Every structure is written in structure tokens, then in C-alpha cells.
């Protein structure tokens, strides 16, 4: 009997894709008057751009017949169902809505989400998890990595190219020095970077068809996950106003000004 780790990935492969509902990137953020966070009520939200790329990659794999099923997962209150529906309209087969709301949702972070994903991966017997590399609201860039660690799976992060070769995944990663190509064994976690693909539009006929696809509701407790946070947000502030600069005419003036400011 081959250990679970080395089982052959066949056509029955299942991909879990995480999608996060975030404030739309073009919207001007406003800090709440009580400085505990930002105003979200009524503000335009959309799917995290990197999550869109993740969904597109999973759907592409399905279209190439390399995987059998794409499951879209999102954690949050009722409204995240819209985000899951968009993923379904892009081609995911079914959705899982992990219900987290109220105070729990405000403090939900990568550690809890990765625990949820790890539990779901085991429950759904997923072979591949594709996530966006980071969310544009908190910029954490942690969920993919933590999920892989919790599952003891290999990870291919900042992927700009993913190729499935038998039971191994060839991932081209975007790193500071350039591009790094690695080969990792399935099951694995991949996080999508910008150049991985261009996501397709969720067209209206697909949105209508997506209404018939199933979204299952699950609670974190059902998965044995405790979503309480070990972090406390003390305050949230706007970035300091940028001070206008001063123009000087000569180098002498520059030196004088620097001396005045106590810099030299």
C-alpha cells in the first residue's frame, strides 16, 4: 500500500481554491471613526485579484482534463456567497461557504484560515490547493505557506507557471533574483502570482448557470477549528500626510537647510 503522500494523481484529482472577498482595489479606504478598522458597510467589494488568478488556473487545469473537480472555498459572512458564485461562474463546480461572522470575522487571519483549509483538504480529499499569493486588504502573504505546513505538503508559492507532470507539479516561481523552477510532489499547495494567467470574465449566462451549482455551508467548529485570534488590533490609522518638499537654489542652501534640520 503506497502512503497517502505518494498516491498517483489520476483524473479524479480534486482542486480546492480559496477565494477572499475584499474591498475593491479602486475604492478609497476610510478609517472608522473609532480607529478599530476601516469602513466596510456599503463599500464596493470584489474577489481578491490574486484569488481570481487562482480560480482561473484551477479551471484551466480542469479544461485540460488534468483535474476532475474544482471546489471554491470562502470564509466569512453571508456576503461571501457572492464571491463564491463568481468563482462558480468562472468554472468551479461547487462551493463551500465557511460561516464566520461578526467579531470572529473581524479578527479572522491567515492562521485560522489555513487551519480551516487544512481541515477541508483532508475532509474533501483534495490533491491540490491553489490560493492567491496574498490578499490586497491585509497583504499578509501567509495563508498558502501556513496551509502547506499544517498539512505537511510541499508548496509552490508566487507561481507564474504551473505544469502538471504525472504526479509532480513543475512550478516556476517569481523570486527577487528572477525565476526559479521547482518540481514538487502532489498533493501540494500553490499560490498564484500576477503573471500566472489572465482571468476570464464571469459572463451573465455563467452567472445564471452558477445559481444551480451547490454551495454548502460549514461552520469552523464542524471542522474542529477554533477561530479565536491570538492577535489584538490596537489601532488603525491613516498613513501620515505627506509633507510638501522645499526647493533650494544652490548646494550651499541645501547644506544650510540640512544643518537647520539637524541632519548634518
Partner 1 sequence: MTVPHCYHKHRITLIHMTRRCIRALKAVRAEHVAPQVYSTRWSSSTVPRITTHYTVYPRDKDPRWEGMEMERFADEADVVIVGGGPAGLSAAIRLKQLANQHEKELRVCVVEKASQIGAHTLSGACLEPTALNELIPDWKERGAPLNTPVTEDKFAILTEKYRIPVPILPGLPMNNHGNYLVRLGHFVRWLGEQAEELGVELYPGYAAAEVLFHEDGSVKGIATNDVGIGKDGSPKDVFERGMELHAKVTLFGEGCHGHLAKQLYKQFNLRENCEPQTYAIGLKELWVIDEKKWRPGRTEHSVGWPLNRNTYGGSFLYHLNEGEPLVALGFVVGLDYTNPYLSPFREFQRWKHHPSIMSTLEGGNRIAYGARALNEGGFQSIPKLTFPGGMLIGCSPGFMNVPKIKGTHTAMKSGMLAAETAFSKITDENLQSETAGLYIPEYKEALEKSWIWKELYAVRNIRPSFHNYFGLYGGMLYTGIFYWFLRGKEPWTLKHNGLDSAQLKPAKDCAPIEYPKPDGKISFDLLSSVALSGTNHEHDQPPHLTLKDDSVPVAQNLAIYDGPEQRFCPAGVYEYVPLETGDGMRLQINAQNCVHCKTCDIKDPSQNINWVVPEGSGGPAYNGM
Residues that bind partner 1 (CB under 8 A): 24-28, 30, 33, 41-44, 46, 198-201, 203-205, 207-208
Q: Is 163 left (phi over 0), alpha (psi -120 to 50) or beta?
A: beta
User: Which residues, in sequence order, are CB contacts of 125 under 8 Å at separation 6+?
Assistant: 14
Burial class (CB in 10 A: 0-12, 13-18, 19+), 189: buried
SS3 for 212? coil
Could you tell me which residues are beta bridge partners of residue 182? 171
Distance of closest approach, residue 135 Cβ to partner 1, in angstroms:
19
Could you tell me which residues are beta bridge partners of residue 215? 95
SS3 for 172? strand
- 41 or 165: whose CB is closer to partner 1? 41
SS3 for 98? strand
- Main-chain phi, psi angles of 71, to 5 degrees: -115, 125
Distance of closest approach, residue 85 Cβ to partner 1, in angstroms:
11
Distance of closest approach, residue 199 Cβ to partner 1, in angstroms:
8
Task: Return d(Cα 113, Cα 215) in angstroms, integer.
Answer: 18
- 161 or 167: whose CB is closer to partner 1? 161
- 41 or 139: whose CB is closer to partner 1? 41
Distance of closest approach, residue 49 Cβ to partner 1, in angstroms:
12
- 94 or 200: whose CB is closer to partner 1? 200
Distance of closest approach, residue 250 Cβ to partner 1, in angstroms:
29
- 43 or 233: whose CB is closer to partner 1? 43
Distance of closest approach, residue 2 Cβ to partner 1, in angstroms:
40
- 47 or 130: whose CB is closer to partner 1? 47
Distance of closest approach, residue 30 Cβ to partner 1, in angstroms:
6
Task: Return d(Cα 21, Cα 35) in angstroms, integer.
Answer: 22
H-helix or E-strand spanning residue 74: strand 69-76
Task: Return d(Cα 264, Cα 261) in angstroms, integer.
Answer: 8
- 34 or 260: whose CB is closer to partner 1? 34
H-helix or E-strand spanning residue 113: helix 110-124
Amino acid at each position: 500500500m503506497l502512503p497517502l503522500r505518494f498516491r498517483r494523481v489520476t483524473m479524479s484529482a480534486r482542486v480546492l481554491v480559496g477565494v477572499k472577498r475584499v474591498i475593491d482595489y479602486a475604492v478609497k479606504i476610510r478609517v472608522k471613526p473609532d480607529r478599530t478598522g476601516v469602513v466596510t458597510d456599503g463599500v464596493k467589494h470584489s474577489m481578491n485579484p490574486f484569488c481570481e488568478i487562482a480560480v482561473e488556473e484551477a479551471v484551466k487545469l480542469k479544461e485540460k482534463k488534468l483535474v476532475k473537480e474544482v471546489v471554491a472555498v470562502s470564509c466569512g459572512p453571508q456576503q461571501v456567497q457572492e464571491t463564491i458564485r463568481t468563482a462558480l461562474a468562472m468554472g468551479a463546480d461547487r462551493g463551500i461557504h465557511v460561516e464566520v461572522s461578526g467579531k470572529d470575522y473581524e479578527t479572522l487571519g491567515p492562521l485560522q484560515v489555513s487551519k480551516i483549509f487544512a481541515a477541508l483538504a483532508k475532509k474533501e480529499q483534495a490533491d491540490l490547493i491553489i490560493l492567491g499569493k496574498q490578499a490586497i486588504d491585509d497583504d499578509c502573504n501567509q495563508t498558502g505557506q501556513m496551509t502547506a505546513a499544517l498539512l505537511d505538503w510541499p508548496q509552490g508559492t508566487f507561481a507564474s507557471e504551473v505544469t502538471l507532470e504525472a504526479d509532480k507539479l513543475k512550478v516556476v516561481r517569481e523570486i527577487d533574483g528572477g525565476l526559479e523552477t521547482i518540481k514538487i510532489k502532489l498533493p501540494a499547495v500553490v499560490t498564484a502570482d500576477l503573471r500566472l494567467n489572465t482571468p476570464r470574465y464571469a459572463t451573465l449566462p455563467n452567472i445564471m448557470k452558477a445559481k444551480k451549482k451547490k454551495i454548502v455551508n460549514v461552520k469552523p467548529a464542524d471542522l474542529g477549528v477554533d477561530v479565536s485570534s491570538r492577535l489584538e488590533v490596537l489601532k488603525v490609522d491613516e498613513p501620515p500626510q505627506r509633507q510638501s518638499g522645499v526647493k533650494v537654489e544652490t548646494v550651499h542652501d541645501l547644506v544650510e537647510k540640512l544643518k537647520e534640520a539637524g541632519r548634518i
